[in-house]
Structure 1
């Protein structure tokens, strides 16, 4: 098993080494080019000038970070203002809905009160009619009793 690995692995290993050497050669060439470029373009300054330049550079980076933070806060503020405006609109809509519901409740209450009054009037009318019916019923019974009494006397007087 080791022979197979070394046989096929050796070809892959050599290719890898060749690729790595080519990469290292290219990197060395790139480093040489970069070093030459730096030597041509490099500016040498004293420590005080370098310190001031470093401070300015640091301040510029800080300013850039702060500007980004301000932009982020402005976006958050705009979003909060929009959310507050939506909340106010929803509140007004809810208040209008509540007002409409209250008015509807008042209308329904008035309808119920009116219906109750009409019902009470009908009940009074029914009671009055019931009393009238009872009164007439009593009159009818009285008349029937009178008729029977008179009828009984007539039958008794005709038979005598």
Structure 2
């Protein structure tokens, strides 16, 4: 198990759930204080290390022992967005490509694709991925592609 300082330094002192800064000097008992979340979306193999991520105490408590949800921001015009955490887990295991959102305009799709890559750079820094935006059916599809 890593120390809070090690996990915080590795994650750049940003909460993996809400993507907001975490103050390393705040009390761990404060809702905005730092905590380490043992990310257990699937049962780890025997002897495998459970990944640890930095989270605010309140974000970690709110998540509890259920699957984490990383929301798409409300300012993006995205229709039928894919669940980000599950998509990242699938692409990490299998690779490939997956449509993650539909948008009404190219500008909306480009903005969503840029946001997603920026968010993934902190959420899943080891995932080597790009995005593609292609028109289809009167809308624009945002696809996440692993390299």
TM-score for both structures, normalised by structure 2: 0.14
- Structure number with the bigger relative contact order (C-alpha 8 A, sep ≥ 6) is 2
Quick check: which one's helix share is greater? 1
Quick check: which one's strand share is greater? 2
TM-score for both structures, normalised by structure 1: 0.13
